[in-house]
Structure formats: structure tokens, C-alpha cells
Amino acid sequence: MKKPLKYSSAPKPPDVLRDVFEPNFDGNETSGMVRTQIYLTRAEHGYVAAEAARQGETMAAVIRGCIDDKMRVPDTAWTSNPMLEPTPPEAGPDLPEDAAINHDHYLYGTPKKYLKKRGQWVLVEPKARR
């Protein structure tokens, strides 16, 4: 007589792993919490313990509160953000129109390599050495 198998051939993952890999999007922030462990310096541990005692909370609640504060986008992010301001009318200093092609002339004082003739930039022939 054959004994029945004690376990199925494909074991189910434990509920803890299912919560981690299949998050619950019911809007409840505490559902699907994941247990974790961190190392703190003595000073950090002392600070968190003092804050927990002052607030009447657990150390874990204080740490979660700090993380929540960092994750929250401040209300002023869209109102006083310099990156969202219009571009200034003048983006930089006034430069000669040939500054890009004759940069050695403007930086080091060498003779210009290009001159504008009839609206076109043309290469200046180097002077013959004596």
C-alpha cells in the first residue's frame, strides 16, 4: 500500500513573502509591513530612544515617521522651485559671433583662423614664415 504524500509537490510561499512580493494596494499604509533590521550608532540609538520617550511612541514609530517625512513632497515644491521659473532672457555673457570658431584668438591672443567674407566664414590662409 502506497502512503499519501505529506506535502504537495509545489509548496506555497509563506504569507510574509506573499505580502512583500504582492503588495496590498487598499490604501492602508500599515498593511503589508515588512520587518527589517538596521544597525545604528550609539548616538543614533540614543537619539531615537529619547525621541520615542518624548513622543510616547515606540522607536519603530519614530523611525517610520522620519522616513515618512523624507518621502513626503513639500507643498512648496511646485510653487517656489527655481527650476520651474522661466528662462532668463539672456542666458550668458555677450560674446563675439565667431567666439566658437576663433576661441584661441579670444583666449590666447593667437591670430584668427576664420574671417567672415560675404556672409560666410572662411579659413584664413596662414602667413608664410620667413
**Is residue 23 located within the same domain as residue 53?**
yes
- The residue segments making up the domain with residue 29 are 15-79
pLDDT at 90: 72
Question: Average pLDDT for residues 48-60, to the nearest whole number?
Answer: 95
**Is residue 115 located within the same domain as residue 64?**
no
pLDDT at 19: 46
**Is residue 121 located within the same domain as residue 75?**
no
pLDDT beyond 90 at 58: yes
- Number of neighbouring beta carbons within 10 Å of residue 102: 19
**Is residue 75 located within the same domain as residue 46?**
yes
**Is residue 118 located within the same domain as residue 66?**
no
pLDDT beyond 50 at 89: yes
String of DSSP letters for 49-117: HHHHHHHT--HHHHHHHHHHHHHSPPGGGTTS-GGGSPPPS--S----TTTTTSHHHHHH-PPPSEEEE
pLDDT beyond 90 at 37: yes
pLDDT at 31: 61
In a domain, 6, yes or no: no
**Is residue 75 located within the same domain as residue 19?**
yes
Q: Whole-model pTM?
A: 0.40
Percent of the chain exceeding pLDDT 70 equals 72
